[in-house]
Amino acid sequence: MTPAKARRYRVSELPLEELGPHISRRLATGERSMIAHVYLKKGAVVPKHSHDNEQITYILDGALKFWLGDDEAEEMVLRSGELLLIPSHLPHRAKALEDTVDVDIFTPPRQDWLDGTDSYLRSGGAGS
């Protein structure tokens, strides 16, 4: 069995995918993991959703407010240099309190992000 080859990427050269007027992303994926730079303008909303994938969100710049759980009872604000581990199937939503750049890491890769069926994220991205 031949080992897979390492791949090098320059984030700024990855295709920028515009999901709506307030959210865009660049992503790279391997066989068992995915990483994305997600760009959210102040006020952008990621609607409540959950997924089988484990997620790590790391804030590079800006701030995101999260609501976690079915009842959204747990709230927290993540700022630059902070990260959040979101376990499989935990409902969550988020709002950008500032222009924000976050890194999202998923295991396994998000198939809906790869095939464009992530309609919850393509619904405009702005909210109250």
Domains parsed from the chain with CATH numbers? 15-115 (2.60.120.10)
Q: Is the pLDDT of residue 124 over 80?
A: no
- Residue-level pLDDT at 3: 83
Residue 1 banded pLDDT, cuts 50, 70, 90? confident
Q: Is the pLDDT of residue 48 over 60?
A: yes
User: Average pLDDT of 87-115?
Assistant: 97
Q: Is the pLDDT of residue 70 over 60?
A: yes
Residue 127 banded pLDDT, cuts 50, 70, 90? low
Q: What pTM did the predictor assign?
A: 0.92
Amino acid at 82: E
Contact in structure between 43 and 63 (CB atoms under 8 Å): no
Residue 122 banded pLDDT, cuts 50, 70, 90? confident
Residue 4 banded pLDDT, cuts 50, 70, 90? confident
Q: Which residues pair with 94 in a beta bridge?
A: 46, 66
Contact in structure between 117 and 110 (CB atoms under 8 Å): no
